[in-house]
């Protein structure tokens, strides 16, 4: 196969990805993530996944895309901006992570990936592959770093000099040879803003997050009825997720407003007062978060989180 043909296919896919609204579309050669294997093994051995038992599953598949797609040759990493400068009108009201303002990103991105795969089939031919949006055993951050979408920040989010870190990651793993991109340099330098700002000490050292101490873990993943007493007063009013490490990152001053209609918040979401959140009914919950990622906590979970903030 001529290089020019490979490059033409690569350019074709990039152009369509941009048309579909993806911010970046970069490519890695599919293969075993050798550097990630010992890191993942140590992270799991230290219990940094807390009660997220699913993280222990499919260890080999997480590290080798050819175990997910037979004959895989390329991993296409895509980023989709979700940054919004909109804030809640009552600054005393509980906070939700910016990524959950609008429609569930899984549904939005899967629709775009499906369209991209259809385009590839139409323009290039029968190509084997699968699409992934963070709910499958794919190390999306590792692939994003490998492709050069950005570098791994000390808070473990992927950072870009142009756009910061407020974006979703997803992948297409294909049995199609494409032109691979190169990683970019780490530009965190001596900065420790994210480490210093984390109220629960979840960033235990640069580039390593103990998930079991993260506010996002407590407010989304943990299903216990009560939280450990040592974390009382440390949630900084976050009732779903947490953006602290991203908010303090100097690179996020370059974040730009997203243009995805599905990510705009429900008209009432940012106008809720603290009192209204504390009196939240299930009917209002269902209306505010229809089709939202916040549904993952269920009504009782969000009520638990809100109640913990007032203690």
Instruction: State the catalytic residue, choosing from 134, 175, 236, 262.
Output: 134
Vertex 165: Cα angle to 187 and 217 (nearest 5): 115
| Residue 210 among the catalytic residues | no
Write out the catalytic residue numbers. Answer: 134
């Amino acid at each position: 196969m001529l290089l020019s043909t490979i490059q033409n296919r690569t350019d074709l896919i990039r152009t369509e990805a941009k048309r579909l609204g993806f911010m970046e579309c970069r490519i890695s050669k599919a293969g075993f993530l050798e550097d990630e294997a010992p890191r993942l093994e140590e992270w799991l051995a230290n219990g940094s996944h807390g009660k997220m038992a699913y993280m222990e599953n499919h260890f080999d598949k997480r590290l080798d895309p050819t175990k997910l797609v037979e004959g895989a040759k390329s991993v296409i990493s895509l980023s989709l901006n979700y940054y919004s400068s909109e804030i809640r009108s009552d600054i005393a009201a509980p906070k939700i992570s910016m990524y959950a303002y609008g429609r569930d990103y899984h549904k939005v991105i899967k629709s775009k990936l499906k369209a991209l795969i259809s385009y590839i089939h139409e323009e290039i031919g029968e190509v084997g592959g699968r699409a992934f949006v963070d709910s499958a055993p794919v190390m999306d951050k590792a692939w994003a770093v490998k492709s050069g979408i950005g570098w791994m920040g000390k808070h473990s989010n992927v950072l870009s000099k142009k756009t910061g870190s407020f974006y979703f990651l997803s992948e297409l793993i294909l049995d199609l040879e494409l032109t691979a991109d190169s990683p970019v340099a780490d530009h965190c330098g001596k900065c420790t803003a994210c480490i210093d700002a984390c109220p629960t000490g979840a960033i235990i050292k640069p580039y390593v997050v103990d998930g079991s101490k993260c506010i996002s873990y407590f407010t989304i993943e943990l299903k216990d009825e009560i939280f450990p007493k040592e974390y009382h007063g440390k949630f900084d009013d976050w009732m779903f997720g947490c953006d602290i490490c991203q908010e303090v990152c100097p690179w996020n001053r370059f974040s730009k407003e997203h243009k995805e209609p599905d990510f705009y918040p429900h008209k009432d979401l940012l106008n809720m007062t603290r009192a209204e959140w504390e009196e939240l009914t299930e009917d209002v919950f269902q209306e505010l978060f229809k089709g939202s990622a916040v549904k993952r906590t269920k009504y009782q979970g969000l009520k638990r989180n809100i109640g913990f903030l007032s203690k």
